[in-house]
């Protein structure tokens, strides 16, 4: 089997209701999908997380000519080849996001050609249902009303875990966390995410104020560049720490894991290096007894890739405790998540049911896709 073409799809959509987090305000969504065609009739889809323009150039102009003619089933060999070609200029960032998209598409093809769902090719899943947590509670003008509505909706959908945004300043954050805790009730697991808005001393101060509200994890409390800062926060709080969506490859994750800066490692499959590298990061994390729960904030393609990876990832410690088996289920407005596939993953009572079709198991709705290009 040979790769005959790589096509880049840049998707853009304006949001009906803009929302904000600690770093900026979203008025539109944008993502990059990669479609890989073969001479065997199989096609594969991947997604890159990050700014579309440089990613489109990286995939379309730099990497595509290198992979046309190669067998997409040689996933490890192709990963090494592409990383070796780019390591001098970009060990992290855009070039890795581009490799990630290609790698996901290669795995999609490999599993389609094998006639099995991707998670099975990766090693299989212990359960057919994957419990998720709802990511929401972003800041908006009428956040009080919005939070109550969101809480009611998530409970109705069967979520028993939710994640909210913080990082707007200590006092405001404490108020917001109280509001969400009150809205979701005492039994729902509540995580909070600062998107690296704080220095260690402020993150610790916030953590101490909200510790009595039973926080499941504190995500990106400090800069992703500050491993010592993570360790300082960890030493001073009982709340577990999560992070890693801004980190890349096993080489980037290794010091965070070895030094136990994280309790939950969150590689994004669409930027950390794809399925191939995600599995290596998960192996490393298992050595250090650290949970892996992928960051997933993209389209249906990236979300599904994360689901297959999560289902099949190596685990440590071995447990049946449900709170350790949670994957991100973004609930913010995103038409690329909800409208570009003809057979969305079945979601029921706070859980995804693993797709049983070959490959990623989703069919792209080309007409819907074209509407966003």
- In whole angstroms, the minimum distance from the beta carbon of 263 to Ca ion comes to 15
Residues 27-46 that bind Ca ion (CB under 5 A): none
Q: Which is nearer to Ca ion, 43 or 247 (by Cβ)?
A: 247
Residues 144-203 that bind Ca ion (CB under 5 A): 193
| Separation CA 333–CA 14 (nearest Å) | 10
Nearest alpha-carbon partner for 3 in 40, 52, 28, 55: 40
Q: 9, 196, 291, 295: which one is catalytic?
A: 295
Nearest alpha-carbon partner for 345 in 294, 310, 314, 305: 305
- Interface with Ca ion, residue 330, by CB under 5 A: no
Strands (E), the chain: 3-20, 25-38, 43-48, 129-135, 161-165, 189-193, 215-219, 241-243, 264-265, 291-292, 327-330, 347-348, 351-353
Q: Which is nearer to Ca ion, 165 or 325 (by Cβ)?
A: 165
Residue 196 annotated to the active site: no
Buried/exposed 301-319: b ≥16 CB within 10 Å, e otherwise: bbbbbbbbbbbbbeebeee
- In whole angstroms, the minimum distance from the beta carbon of 196 to Ca ion comes to 9
- In whole angstroms, the minimum distance from the beta carbon of 137 to Ca ion comes to 12
| Separation CA 74–CA 83 (nearest Å) | 14
| Residue facing Ca ion at closest CB distance | 193
Q: Which is nearer to Ca ion, 264 or 352 (by Cβ)?
A: 264
- In whole angstroms, the minimum distance from the beta carbon of 285 to Ca ion comes to 17
Q: Which is nearer to Ca ion, 150 or 193 (by Cβ)?
A: 193
The structure tokens listed for 368 are 């819907």
Interacting residues toward Ca ion by CB under 5 A? 193
Which residues have a catalytic role annotated? 295
């Amino acid at each position: 089997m040979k790769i005959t073409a790589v096509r880049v799809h840049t998707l853009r959509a304006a949001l009906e209701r803009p929302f904000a987090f600690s770093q900026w305000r979203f008025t539109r969504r944008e993502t990059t999908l990669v479609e890989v065609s073969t001479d065997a009739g199989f096609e594969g889809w991947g997604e890159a997380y990050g700014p579309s323009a440089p990613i489109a150039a990286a995939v379309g102009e730099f990497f595509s000519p290198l992979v046309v003619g190669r067998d997409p089933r040689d996933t490890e060999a192709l990963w090494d080849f592409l990383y070796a070609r780019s390591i001098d200029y970009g060990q992290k960032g855009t070039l890795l996001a581009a490799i990630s998209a290609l790698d996901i598409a290669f795995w999609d093809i490999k599993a389609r050609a094998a006639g099995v769902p991707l998670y099975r090719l990766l090693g299989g899943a212990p359960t057919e249902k994957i419990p998720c947590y709802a990511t929401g509670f972003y800041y908006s003008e009428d956040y009080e009303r919005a939070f109550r509505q969101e809480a009611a909706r998530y409970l109705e959908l069967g979520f028993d875990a939710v994640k909210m945004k913080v990082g707007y300043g200590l006092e405001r954050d404490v108020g917001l966390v109280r509001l969400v805790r009150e809205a979701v009730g005492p039994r729902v697991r509540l995580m909070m995410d600062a998107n690296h808005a704080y220095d260690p001393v402020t993150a610790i101060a916030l953590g101490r104020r909200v510790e009595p509200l039973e926080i499941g994890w504190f995500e990106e409390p400090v800069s992703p560049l500050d491993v010592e800062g993570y360790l300082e926060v960890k030493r001073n709080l009982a709340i577990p720490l999560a992070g890693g969506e801004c980190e890349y490859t096993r080489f980037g994750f290794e010091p965070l894991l070895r030094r136990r800066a994280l309790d939950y490692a969150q590689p994004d499959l669409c930027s950390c290096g794809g399925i191939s590298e995600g599995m290596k990061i998960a192996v490393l994390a298992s050595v250090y007894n650290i949970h892996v729960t992928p960051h997933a904030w993209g389209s249906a393609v990236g979300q599904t890739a994360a689901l297959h990876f999560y289902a099949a990832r190596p685990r440590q410690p071995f447990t049946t405790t449900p709170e350790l088996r949670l994957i991100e289920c973004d609930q913010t407005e995103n038409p690329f998540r909800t409208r570009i596939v003809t057979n969305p993953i079945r979601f029921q009572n706070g859980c995804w049911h693993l797709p049983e079709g070959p490959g990623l198991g989703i069919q792209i709705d080309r007409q819907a896709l074209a509407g966003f290009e």
